[in-house]
Amino acid sequence: MKNLNNLNEKPILVSFLVSGDPNIEATLKYMKALDEYCGVIELGIPFSDPVADGSTIQEANVRSLSNGFKINQSFDLLKEFRKDSDTPVVLMTYYNLVYNRGIEDFVIDAKKAGANGLIIVDLPLDEAEEYQKICKKHEFGTIFLVAPNTPDERIIYSDESSTMFLYLISTFGITGTRDSFEKMTFDFIKRAKSLCSDNSKLYVGFGISNEKHAENLISQGADGIIVGSAFVNIIKEYGDSEDTIIKLKELAKELHGGIEKGYAKYIKSD
């Protein structure tokens, strides 16, 4: 059984889906489909102005919101998922939605629903003191993001403030699939590993879409990869169908294979 205590015995795949894309019932099916290959599922709560996301995930937000998505549906979705799985789930959203509900109420509701942690992509760490206190009070995971241009001292601070894992943004810009990764990304992974606690978990996201990406990033020492747009593109193309489930599983299996290859290389080189 997967849980937070064995989150990273080996590098893992974190899959990202947008709640309600194309509908809540389909999202639940897709979470279950990906569960076999994922160490963590990241569930996005749609927002009208997702500034950190590229066009693929922006469109997924629009599809969900156009169908009348409400925040409570993400919590209800998670409760249903919890009937069959204990795979850790982190919610991803923007601060406006958390602030409007009330930070503590949001954290309490999320935890009751079965979430293990929260990513608020537009909440600066310097302004997150209250949020961190509330999460600590309720034993709820925090995840902060760092990028290749983040100074060393900021990476250390972000690592100390992230109780679940540290999110390494692979490159500059917004989410979306890319053909390859530059040396900058690999150097960033190594720099972060040298700065963060030995017990920290460093997961790399943005732009990852295939087995080779997974292999290359894990071989540099990443503890996991976060994949979103590649899965969301499948959902966009095949909609609410059995074909989507098949394609999601195929990609998750491919990425998992890349992780295994990358980890073998990393162990051999260590």
Query: In DSSP terms, which residues pair with 18 in a beta bridge?
Result: 44
User: Rounded mean pLDDT of the chain?
Assistant: 92
Comparing CA positions, the residue from 198, 127, 206, 217 lying closest to residue 173 is 206
| Whole-angstrom distance, CA of residue 71 vs CA of residue 233 | 23
pTM over 0.95: no
CA distances from 243 to 16, 19, 34 (A): 18, 19, 14
User: 223 lies in a domain?
Assistant: yes
Instruction: Report how many domains make up the chain.
Output: 1
pLDDT digits (tens, 9 = 90+) for 146-160: 999 999 999 999 999
pLDDT digits (tens, 9 = 90+) for 203-229: 999 989 999 999 999 999 999 999 999
pLDDT above 90: residue 264: yes
User: 126 lies in a domain?
Assistant: yes
User: 2 lies in a domain?
Assistant: no
| Residue 178 confidence (pLDDT) | 62
User: 157 lies in a domain?
Assistant: yes
- CATH at 141: 3.20.20.70
User: 194 lies in a domain?
Assistant: yes
pLDDT above 60: residue 115: yes
Amino acid letter for position 242: E
User: 18 lies in a domain?
Assistant: yes
- Hey, which residues are catalytic here? 42, 53
Share of the chain above pLDDT 90, in %: 84
User: 6 lies in a domain?
Assistant: no
Q: Residue 124 sits in which domain range?
A: 11-267
> How sure is the predictor about 2, in pLDDT bands with cuts at 50, 70 and 90?
very low
For residue 202, the SS3 value is strand
| Residue 52 confidence (pLDDT) | 73
User: 4 lies in a domain?
Assistant: no
pLDDT above 90: residue 8: no
- Residues 161-181 have a mean pLDDT of 79
pLDDT above 50: residue 1: no
| Residue 175 confidence (pLDDT) | 58
